[in-house]
Structure formats: structure tokens, C-alpha cells
């Protein structure tokens, strides 16, 4: 499922993060790339132990925890601390699929990358290129969102970031292990959840609301891994 989450971050959140990112020393993105990814990755990232990065990551995690669209779509069990990257002067990241498993920093806990998320900090008119291109059953989906918006997509998707030919593209990215491993099942649950909410909004006394809600939870009980 490919889903845009508008205004995950407020304009004030974006302004504060951008001010922080403007003062930080970046490292070569290849430092966190695997053998194959190193061949196609040309960007900059914050070091994983960056204190400023951890603080901004905590802000994003707080906003995620209060965002009903993200919670309904991702059904998060574990969320890796957000990371941050910078693309400029032709920077790009060629076609790749993210690692299936990541270690939670400072622990032996592993997180399965069921759901990928990118949060944009630069507005589209600030840079040329830099589109996030995601391959799915319907072909290539090109994503370039407003600052503060996020895109959620399956972690097993082939994707790339096109070269940035003007300006700077700043973003955060991270992975979520979902309660429901299957993207197809998450999509069905999300569609059902949204339909129940619309029915409750438009017809709050409808007698089928309770039954549909029960169906949702029974499917979640059947498919979830806890």
C-alpha cells in the first residue's frame, strides 16, 4: 500500500528540524550501505549516533504516535529510530530494496522492515529531481511531497531517489515492523477501518457499525503477530 500522510509535521516542526540540519556535519551515506547498495548510493546521512538526529527522531516518533492515518496503515509493533539524509549536486540512490532486518540501536532487538516511511523536509520547488520512485503492481509511482508530508510504502518495494540537479533535498526515513506482516492484509484492514469510520461519521446510529468493527478486530486477531 502506498499512502501519503499530509502534514505529519507542523510547519514549526519542519522549521526547527531544518535549522538543526543546517548546522550538522554530514557523513557519506555509503557508511550505512551494504555491499550492493554502495554501488548505487550517493548521498549524505547523519551519523546514527548523532544526538541532534536522535532528538529530531523522537519528535517524529511522537507525531507518528498521534497520527491516526499512520497508525491505521502501518499497525506498528516496532519503529526504528528515524534516520536523516541529504541529496545535492547530483546526489542519488539507484534502484534497491531495503534490508529485511535492522538492529534496534544499542540492543540485540531486531526489527523487520515491513513498512518504509519517508518524511520530507524540503518543498518540491526547492530542488530539481530528487523524486522517490517506487515500483508496485501498477508500475512506477513518483513521489515528491511538501515539507512535513510523509509517504508510507511496503518495505519490500524496489525504489530509488532520482538525482538532485538543483538545490538540496532533506528527508527522514525509517522502517516499521507491523503487527501484520502481509501488505495485502494491512491494505484490507486499512480499507475496512476507513469505511467503518466514514459510516460512523455519516450514520452514527447504523446497526452494522458494531458488526463491522467486530469483523475488523477478528481479522486483526487472526493475522497479527505479537
124 and 202 together in one domain: no
Beta bridge partners of 160: 133
CB 62 within 8 A of CB 55: no
**Host domain of residue 189:** 183-223
83 and 115 together in one domain: yes
CB 143 within 8 A of CB 182: no
Domain count, the chain: 2
CB 70 within 8 A of CB 8: yes
**Which CATH number do you get for residue 197?**
4.10.860
**Which CATH number do you get for residue 137?**
2.60.120.620
**How would you classify residue 44: left for phi > 0, otherwise alpha for psi between -120 and 50, otherwise beta?**
beta
pLDDT tens digit string along 60-105? 999 999 999 999 999 999 999 999 999 999 999 999 999 999 999 8
207 and 114 together in one domain: no
Q: What is the pLDDT of residue 6?
A: 98
pLDDT tens digit string along 139-184? 999 999 999 999 999 999 999 999 999 999 999 999 999 999 999 9
Question: Is the confidence at residue 31, as pLDDT, over 90?
Answer: no
Question: Is the confidence at residue 226, as pLDDT, over 90?
Answer: no
127 and 24 together in one domain: yes
Question: Is the confidence at residue 29, as pLDDT, over 90?
Answer: no
Question: Is the confidence at residue 35, as pLDDT, over 80?
Answer: no
Q: What is the pLDDT of residue 123?
A: 98
Q: What is the pLDDT of residue 4?
A: 98
Cα distances (angstroms) measured from residue 192 to each of 41, 165, 179, 188, 217: 38, 42, 16, 6, 10
174 and 188 together in one domain: no
115 and 148 together in one domain: yes
165 and 198 together in one domain: no
34 and 143 together in one domain: yes
192 and 92 together in one domain: no
- Residue that is written with C-alpha cell 538526529 in the block: 53
72 and 10 together in one domain: yes
Question: What global pTM score does this model have?
Answer: 0.95
Q: What is the pLDDT of residue 103?
A: 94
169 and 201 together in one domain: no
173 and 198 together in one domain: no
Average pLDDT over residues 191-204: 96
CB 186 within 8 A of CB 88: no
Look at residues 77, 81, 78, 72 and name the one whose alpha carbon lies nearest to residue 54.
Answer: 81
Amino acid at each position: 500500500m502506498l499512502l501519503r500522510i499530509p502534514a505529519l509535521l507542523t510547519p514549526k516542526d519542519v522549521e526547527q528540524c531544518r535549522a538543526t540540519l543546517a548546522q550538522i556535519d554530514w557523513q557519506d551515506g555509503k557508511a550505512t550501505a551494504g555491499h550492493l547498495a554502495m554501488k548505487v548510493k550517493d548521498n549524505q546521512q547523519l551519523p546514527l549516533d548523532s544526538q541532534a538526529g536522535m532528538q529530531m527522531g523522537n519528535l517524529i516518533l511522537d507525531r507518528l504516535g498521534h497520527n491516526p492515518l499512520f497508525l491505521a496503515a502501518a499497525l506498528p509493533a516496532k519503529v526504528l529510530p528515524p534516520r536523516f539524509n541529504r541529496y545535492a549536486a547530483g546526489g542519488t540512490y539507484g534502484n534497491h530494496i531495503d534490508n529485511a532486518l535492522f538492529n534496534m540501536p544499542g540492543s540485540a532487538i531486531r526489527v523487520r522492515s515491513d513498512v518504509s516511511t519517508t518524511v520530507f523536509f524540503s518543498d518540491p520547488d526547492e530542488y530539481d529531481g530528487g523524486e522517490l520512485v517506487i515500483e508496485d503492481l501498477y508500475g512506477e509511482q513518483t513521489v515528491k511531497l511538501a515539507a512535513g508530508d510523509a509517504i508510507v510504502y511496503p518495505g519490500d518495494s524496489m525504489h530509488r531517489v532520482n538525482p538532485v540537479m538543483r538545490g538540496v533535498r532533506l528527508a527522514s526515513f525509517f522502517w516499521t515492523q507491523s503487527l501484520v506482516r502481509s501488505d495485502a492484509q494491512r491494505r484490507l484492514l486499512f480499507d475496512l477501518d476507513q469505511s467503518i469510520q466514514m459510516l460512523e461519521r455519516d450514520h452514527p446510529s447504523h446497526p452494522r457499525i458494531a458488526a463491522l468493527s467486530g469483523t475488523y478486530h477478528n481479522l486483526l486477531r487472526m493475522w497479527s503477530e505479537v
